[in-house]
Amino acid sequence: MGSPVLAVEGLSKGYISGRQRVSVLADLSLSVCSGESLAVVGRSGSGKSTLLNLLCGLQTLDDGRIAVAGESFAATGAGAEVRWAELRRRTIGVVFQDVNLMPALSLLDNVRLRSHLAGHDTGGEREWL
């Protein structure tokens, strides 16, 4: 296979609970190449959602490095929030656990709206605003 579209090296993330630091992910490394699939499984509270939030830049990592589609992010880095937002806008699709649909729109129109807001041609002449 070619170079990874997703590469994670030494990823660590923890939270403060009371006065104690709780490690959720510790020194995680993985890679996924084009055409490969990855399933993240585990019991409730094992860090699945935290990992996914880190992989799309919705949370900051404590240590390590994440590379997505050629963009590399470390635990510290200037402009990381802006770079993550741009990467999400043009490359990453995120489906949240909680429904974030506009109830007045059909499912297809909800998808078209998000595509329109991301600057993509939806192929329709629908007025969104």
| pTM for the whole structure | 0.73
pLDDT at 129: 47
Least confident of 26-30, 37-41, 80-84, 95-99: 95-99
CATH number at residue 15: 3.40.50.300
Report how far apart the first and last C-alpha atoms of the chain are (Å, whole number). Answer: 44
CB of 34 closer than 8 Å to CB of 27 = no
d(CA 120, CA 111): 11
Q: Kindly state whether residues 70 and 23 are assigned to the same domain.
A: yes
Dihedrals phi, psi of 65, to nearest 5 degrees: -145, 140
Distance CA 8, CA 22 (A): 21
Mean pLDDT of the chain: 86
Report how many domains make up the chain: 2
**Does the pLDDT value for residue 35 go beyond 60?**
yes
- pLDDT value of position 26: 95
Its domain, for residue 114, covers: 99-129
> Looking at the predicted structure, is the pLDDT value of residue 12 above 70?
yes
